[in-house]
Amino acid sequence: MNYMRTAILLAGLTALFMGVGFLIGGRGGMMIAFIMAAGMNLFSYWNSGRMVLSMHGAEEVDERTAPEFYGMIRELAARAQLPMPKVYVMHEDQPNAFATGRNPENAAVAATTGLLNALSKEEVAGVMAHELAHIKNHDTLIMTVTATIAGAISMLANFGGMFSGNRGNGQPFGMIGSIAMMILAPVAAMIVQMAISRTREYAADRMGAEIVGRPEWLATALQNIERRAHQTENYSAEANPATAHMFIINPLSGQRMDSLFSTHPATENRVAALMEFARQRGAGPAGWTPSQQRPAPQTSAPHGGQTAGDPWSDAPGRGDAGRGPWG
């Protein structure tokens, strides 16, 4: 994403935000919305990453609380020649992940507990390499800023809908305006989907495969996430649908078609591209392997509880023994 595309997107979302303000309060409402949008653009540039992580209830982990997962990110970041990002875990059963932050120096990666429980260690490495590729490609700024503004548009439209049909509140179009506002929320999401080019997913897949060194790891991870994601609801994503484009697989629906308004390319197309890359790559450099020196197992959770069943800790009694990534 270049700076011109970012500017065009933000201008379009700002105009939409002002349009909602006009439908709510006429010219005065439009001016208030413009001032709010200007402040929100500035605020979201600095804080959108933290806001998105908060929306999904993500908790930061470190070398003490999640030694193997944190160590994996550190080693993959070194392979990608990136600064070490902050590492977060979301307590959602659906397997998924995303990256956020305004630049590589202020970036974060987040994975769900479902991802850490359901996928193998190699598949998790492929997924997190994909997220690091988004950071390296500078995708994360526009992804997080647009999620913040699109969410604000939806909230403003819903607020305006509460005054449906009341012409005495300065709403210039009455019932028609209210209906229009209720339509603007999905329109805002559509703009995000169109503006965030799906080619970034293919680019992140390829670069992620290069980082981890084994394209087939990411390919099988995408297939497993796709299958499981459509069977398990992601509650935080459903509550914040404007952030759906940030995840490696759409967390909201079972959409499979590579349609014009899809936030993600079809998974089968991504897998095919990865396998073709693997064939072209042939006997390339060795894939990622975990460090031989591992941190000492922790014996208690950060708040004093036992770590039994904790899928991302290195402690005895961690989660599922078959597919679990750290077993």
Q: Which residues are catalytic?
A: 131
Looking only at the bridges linking them, the beta strands covering 97-101 and 86-90 are unpaired
Alpha helices in the chain (DSSP H): 3-55, 67-79, 113-118, 121-136, 140-161, 174-195, 199-212, 215-229, 235-239, 267-281
- What is the signed CA dihedral for 149, 154, 155, 156, rounded to 10 degrees? 90
Nearest CA-CA partner of 268 in 319, 314, 227: 227
Nearest CA-CA partner of 125 in 214, 62, 191: 214
Residues with Cβ within 8 Å of 195's Cβ and at least 6 positions away in sequence, in order, are 5, 8, 9, 12, 146
Rounded to 5°, the CA angle 236-185-110 comes to: 30
What DSSP line would sit under 202-220, residue for residue?
A: HHHHHHHHHHHS-HHHHHH
d(CA 100, CA 51): 10
